[in-house]
Amino acid sequence: MKTYNYYLFFSLFLVIFGCKEQAKNETIKSENEDSEVLLETSANASKIGKEYALETQKLLGKNLVGAIQKKGVLGALDFCNVKAIPLTDSIAKKHGAIIKRVSDRPRNIKNKANSVELAQIEHFKKRLEQEKEVDPVVISEGNKNKFYYPIITNAMCLQCHGTPNEEIAPATLSKLEGLYPDDKAIGYGPNEVRGIWSITFK
Ligand code: HEC
């Protein structure tokens, strides 16, 4: 009788212990699956965000270069002043997204970065300084994705964002002063973080 009791106790112990182990494995498995899903979602969001940013950049770039060729830098200023935000919004509307071009040193006060965006700008500046690859940043909040990607200057930009009276011609400068009395977007060199794309989508 005694041996039987021992045997029963031992089997019960095995059953309880065994079940526990199995349950533990299941949670580990589902956590892994969740994080795989998360990784996949974020890679996909990164791809979508990049597409939206590139599409907007292309549209703005094409119009900007066209305006400079047709009307010169001074004329192109009017284009940027009037058209940059509506053109950006047109792509946003098409995709049901929010697309912003924001900066820590904005020309147009409407393009001023918020605190989260400022932190991302600092992050991208550091990456560029360290000559590391600059990958987009995606932050998922509920069913929304927030995408951040840097906007980097090249020589062409300096005609309107470079050093006054060197790259920025005096006439351009005085027109800029008229349009944007609080302009902070001058004094840039090439290959600097001029701002970021800040895009929100589902
Ligand atoms: C012809 C002049 C001109 C050139 C060239 C130019 N920009 Fe601008 N940029 C402007 C104006 C004007 C604004 C303000 C637009 C507005 O009022 O919405 C602006 C705004 C911006 C903004 C939005 C943030 C802010 O400061 O308001 C970014 C980012 C920007 N430019 C990046 C660039 C980059 C990068 C290049 C080169 C590829 C470039 N720009 C070339 C005139 C120019």
At 107-149, the pLDDT tens digits run 999 999 999 999 999 999 999 999 988 999 999 988 999 999 9
Ligand 1 atom having least distance to the Cα of 153:
35
* Amino acid in the structure at residue 109: I
pLDDT of residue 32: 58
pLDDT band at 19 (very low <50, low <70, confident <90, very high): very low
**Contact (CB, 8 A) for 111 and 80:** no
pLDDT of residue 37: 66
pLDDT of residue 8: 47
pLDDT digits (tens, 9 = 90+) for 142-189: 899 999 999 999 999 999 999 999 999 999 999 999 999 999 999 999
Nearest 10 degrees: Cα torsion 191, 159, 52, 127:
20
Q: How many residues does the chain have?
A: 202
State if residue 46 touches ligand 1 by the CB under 6 angstroms criterion: no
Rounded distance from Cα 60 to ligand 1 centre (Å): 10
Identify the burial level of 24 via C-beta atoms within 10 angstroms of its C-beta, where 0-12 means exposed, 13-18 middle and 19 or more buried.
Answer: exposed
pLDDT of residue 41: 74
State if residue 100 touches ligand 1 by the CB under 6 angstroms criterion: no
Side-chain-facing half-sphere of 86: CA atoms under 13 Å: 6
**Contact (CB, 8 A) for 152 and 128:** yes
State if residue 106 touches ligand 1 by the CB under 6 angstroms criterion: yes
Alpha carbons 193 and 9: distance in angstroms, whole number? 69
pLDDT digits (tens, 9 = 90+) for 54-113: 999 999 999 999 999 999 999 999 999 999 999 999 999 999 999 999 999 999 999 999
Of residues 27 and 126, the one with the higher pLDDT is 126
**Contact (CB, 8 A) for 121 and 195:** yes
Atom 41 of ligand 1, nearest CA residue: 157
Q: Which is it for the CA torsion 43, 150, 126, 180, positive or negative?
A: negative
Please determine, for residue 5, whether its predicted confidence score (pLDDT) is greater than 80.
no
Candidate from 80, 89, 112, 151 with most ligand 1 atoms within 8 A of CB, to mutate: 80
Q: Which is it for the CA torsion 9, 12, 14, 16, positive or negative?
A: negative
State if residue 63 touches ligand 1 by the CB under 6 angstroms criterion: no
pLDDT of residue 42: 81
* Amino acid in the structure at residue 110: K
